[in-house]
Amino acid sequence: MLVAVIDRTGRGGTRKVKTAFEEVTEKYASHGLSLRLPVTAEIARMAIMGASKSTSERHTLFVSARAVESDLLDGLIAHEVGHMLRTEAGHSSHNADVFGALHHEVKIPRAAEGAFGQAFNHIQDIYADDLAFLVFASDGSDRAYEFFAAWVDGNTSAGGTNRWQNIGLATTNGFALGNLIRHRLIGPDDKLWDLARSFDQKAGFSLVDDLAGFYANLPSDPSREAFVGEVKRLAQLMTLAASS
């Protein structure tokens, strides 16, 4: 239940956010998925399109002014509600107890923390999008492809000389492609593969095919142990690329 929409930017949009949230949650309900906890939405000044934060008592949805003014608002809300639903369900990807196990069992170099953080966030995004794509299965495929294609396209010119930074960008490319594969929105001959592989080649490693396969084939509802194993596998892929 959406209990409030707060505009912290002075640019308005509370009614638009409320309407979009209600439409998205109605679609979720048609699939038997409903939030138990109350939600407060905030329109905020932020660099990214949006985010969410969950506690044991409530969820907070953060929406950028840019998202409110775009045609991506409903997709953003569907994605963030997917995170909320996964948290409420105690899914391994959104479970604090599992995070504790990961802290003890997954070892990465200190220099890799930023890149690995990106890569792990994309695991959570995959599971949120598995739900969000239920909402947009019939009318959001083209928008989803364009959204993720823009990530890959943008990363082709974003690389630098820092190897771990480049690996972090490669994980984003792998996530974008893997998500599209997972939801049958891309084929093996799509131009995005050439863009992503070109980025790898310039950075001096070959990673995106393995990453895309990793994200595309994550098990839908892994046990705690299986999920930890998947995260370890991701860390190994990244570490191997860094040392190659």
| pLDDT on residue 140 | 60
| pLDDT on residue 139 | 62
Domain boundaries, the chain: 2-89, 93-243
Mean pLDDT of each 10-residue bin along the chain, 244 residues long: 96 96 96 98 96 97 96 94 98 96 93 96 98 79 88 87 95 97 95 96 96 98 97 96 88
54-83 confidence digits (pLDDT tens):
999 999 999 999 999 998 999 999 999 999
Max CA-CA distance within the chain? 52
| pLDDT on residue 138 | 60
| pLDDT on residue 244 | 80
